[in-house]
A and B are shown apart, each in its own frame.
Chain A
Amino acid sequence: MAWDRNQMAARAAQELQDGWYVNLGIGIPTLVSNYIPEGMDVTLQSENGMLGMGAFPIEGEEDADLINAGKQTITELDRTSYFDSATSFGMIRGGKIAMAILGAMEVAENGDLANWMIPGKLVKGMGGAMDLVAGVGRVIVVMDHASKSGDSKVLKECTLPLTGKAVVDRIITNLGVLDVVEGGLRIVECADGVTEEELRAATEATIV
Chain B
Amino acid sequence: MKKIYGSAAEALEGVLSDGMLIAAGGFGLCGIPELLLSAIRDAGTKNLTFASNNAGVDDFGIGILLQTKQVKKMISSYVGENKEFMRQYLGGELELEFNPQGTLAERMRAGGAGIPGFYTKTGVGTVIAEGKEHKDFDGETYILERGIVADLAIVKAWKADDTGNLVFRKTARNFNPPAAMCGKICIAEVEEIVPRGSLDGDAIHLPGIYVHRIIQGDHEKRIEQRTVRTA
Contact = CB atoms under 8 A, between A and B. Distances in A.
A163 interface: yes
Q: Which of B27, B29, B178 has the most CB of A within 10 A?
A: B27
Given A62-B226, A73-B225, A123 B178 contact: no
A47 B101 contact: yes
A46 interface: yes
Contact of B178 (A56, A63, A85): A85
Contacts of B27: 48-49, 67, 71, 85
A164 interface: yes
B163 interface: no
Contact of B105 (A65, A85, A123, A163): A85
Report the contact-size class of chain B (Cβ under 8 Å from the partner): 35 or more
Contact of A135 (B53, B81, B121): B121
Interface in B138-185: 158, 168-178
Contacts of B126: 130, 161-165
Contacts of A131: 100-103, 122
Given A48-B174, A84-B176, A84-B178, A134 B106 contact: no
Q: Which of B28, B171, B225 has the most CB of A within 10 A?
A: B171
Contacts of B104: 85
B175 A85 contact: yes
A57 interface: yes
Interface in B184-224: 205, 221-224
Given A48-B171, A86-B177, A64 B221 contact: yes
A116 B171 CA distance: 24
B102 A66 contact: no
Contacts of B229: 55-58
Given A65-B221, A123-B86, A127-B101, A50 B124 contact: no
A64 B222 contact: yes
Nearest to B112: A86
A49 B104 CA distance: 14
B124 A165 contact: yes
Nearest to B106: A86
15 contacts: A47-B101, A50-B171, A57-B227, A64-B29, A84-B105, A85-B104, A85-B175, A88-B102, A88-B105, A89-B101, A89-B106, A123-B89, A124-B79, A130-B123, A135-B121
Interface of B: 27-31, 53, 76-81, 86, 89-90, 96, 98, 100-106, 108-109, 120-128, 158, 168-178, 205, 221-231
